[in-house]
Chain A
Amino acid sequence: MRLTRVLIRHEWLTQLGSLRFRIFSVVYVVLCCVPSVMIYLLRDRTAQWTGPGTYAVLTANVQPLLTALFAAVVSVDAVSREREEGSFTVLSIAPYSNSGYMLRRWVAVMSVILPITMLPPLISFAIASKSTGQPLSVEPFYWPWLLQVATMTAVISALALAFGAIAGGAVKAAILCFILFNLLLGYGNDILLNGHRGLEGPGEWFGTNDVQWAVSRLGWAVTRSLEFTSASDRPFDVAMAIHQMIPRSLLLVGFTFFFFGISVFFLRRTRRDIRGWRVAQDHPLRTFVAGVNRMREEYAPDPKVTFREWAVVTAGAVGLILTVRALLVRFDHYHSIAAARFAAEESGGPQPADVSIVPVAWQARGRIASNSAIDLDVTAIIRNDGKKNQTHLAFTLNPALGAAVTTKGGAKTSRSWDRLAVDLLQPLVPGEERALRFHISGRSVWHDLPTRHKSFVDVYEVHRNSKDGWGLQDFSRTLTVPAVTRGRVSLQAEDLFPVLRHTTWQLTPRAKRSTDPGRFVPLEAIFPMARIEVDLDVPEGVFLSDSCGALPRREAGRVRLRGACPMSLHHYRIAGGRLQPLRQDGAIVAMIPEHRTSTEAQLVSFSKALSMVTQAWPQIDPRGTVFMEWSPGPAEGSFSGMWHSPWDFSAVKSGKLLLIPESTWTARAAVPADRLAALLISVELQRTRPIVPAESLLFMHFYRHVTLSRLGSAAQRELASSDTQPGLLSGAGWDWGLWEKVLPAVMMEIEQRIGSRNFIAALDEFISDRSGNPGTAKELLGRMTARSGVPLDRIYKDFFIEGAVPHLTLETVTVRRESGVWVVGGEVRNKGTGESFVPLVLECDGETMTTLVRVDSNTASSFTFRSPSAPQVLNLDPRGVSYRRAPVGTVQSFRFGGTE
Chain B
Amino acid sequence: MIEIRALRKTYADGHQALNGIDLDIHDGMLGLLGPNGAGKTTFLSALTMILEPTSGSRIYDGLDASRASNRSAIRRMIGYLPQDFTPIRHLSGFDYLVYCAQLRGLKLSIHRIRERAHQLLDAVFLQEAAFRRSGEYSGGMRRRLGIAQALIHSPRLVVVDEPTAGLDPEERIRFRNLIADVAEDRAVLLSTHIVEDIEATCPRIVVIGRGEILFDGEPAELLRRASGKLWDIESGSDLPSGARIISERAEEGRRLTLVLSEAPVPGGVLRDVTLEEAYSAFLAGQGVSRDEQA
Interface residues in chain A, defined as those with a beta carbon under 8 Å from any beta carbon in chain B: 2-3, 6-7, 9-10, 13-14, 17-18, 82, 85-87, 89-97, 268, 270-276, 278, 290, 293-294, 296-297, 302-307, 309
Contacts and interface: CB of A to CB of B under 8 A. Distances in A.
B105 interface: yes
A309 B71 CA distance: 13
A770 to B, nearest CB: 90
A273 B53 contact: yes
Interface string B33-75: 0000000000000001111111100000000011111011101
A95 B72 contact: yes
Contact of B50 (A89, A96, A305, A309): A89
A124 B103 CA distance: 39
Contacts of A87: 86-89
Contacts of B133: 17
Contacts of A9: 99
Interface in B218-271: none
Nearest to A273: B54
B71 to A, nearest CB: 6
Contacts of A276: 11-14
Contacts, number: 117
Interface stretch (B21-29, B76-84, B189-197): B76-84
A273 B18 CA distance: 12
Contact of B105 (A10, A94, A274): A94
Residue among A13, A90, A272, A275 with most chain B CB within 10 A: A90
A82 B78 contact: no
Q: List the 5 closest A-B pairs by CB distance, nearest first.
A: A17-B90, A86-B86, A297-B12, A6-B102, A276-B12
Interface secondary structure of A, over-half rule:
loop
Contacts of A6: 99, 102-103
Given A82-B88, A296-B12, A304 B68 contact: yes
B10 interface: yes
A86 B84 contact: yes
B12 A294 contact: yes
A95 B104 contact: yes
Residue among A17, A95, A96, A309 with most chain B CB within 10 A: A95
Contacts of A13: 90-91, 95, 99
25 contacts: A7-B103, A17-B90, A82-B88, A87-B88, A89-B82, A89-B84, A90-B81, A93-B75, A93-B80, A95-B105, A96-B105, A270-B51, A273-B10, A273-B52, A274-B12, A275-B12, A276-B11, A276-B12, A276-B13, A276-B14, A304-B66, A304-B68, A306-B71, A307-B68, A309-B68
Nearest to A298: B12
Given A13-B90, A296-B12, A90 B100 contact: yes
Contacts of A2: 102
Nearest to B14: A276
B143 interface: no
Contacts of A95: 72-73, 75-76, 104-105
A302 B65 CA distance: 13
Given A86-B85, A278-B14, A304-B68, 5 more contacts: A13-B91, A87-B87, A270-B50, A304-B65, A304-B67
B164 interface: no
Interface string B144-181: 00100110000000000000000000000000000000
A7 B88 CA distance: 13
Interface of B: 9-14, 48-55, 65-69, 71-73, 75-76, 78-82, 84-91, 95, 99-100, 102-105, 133, 146, 149-150
A591 B216 CA distance: 91
A89 B86 CA distance: 9
B49 A93 contact: yes
Contact of B72 (A10, A14, A97): A97
A711 B75 CA distance: 90
Nearest to A86: B86
A3 B105 CA distance: 8
Nearest to A276: B12
Given A85-B89, A93-B75, A307-B69, A268 B12 contact: no
Contacts of B66: 304
B134 to A, nearest CB: 9
B286 to A, nearest CB: 27
Contacts of B79: 93
Nearest to A18: B90
A14 B98 CA distance: 13
A494 to B, nearest CB: 64
A762 B150 CA distance: 104
Contacts of B99: 6, 9-10, 13
A274 B13 CA distance: 9
B52 A304 contact: yes
Contacts of A274: 12
Contacts of A290: 13
A82 B72 CA distance: 21
A13 B102 CA distance: 14
A93 B48 contact: yes
Nearest to B77: A95
Nearest to A309: B68
A87 B91 CA distance: 12
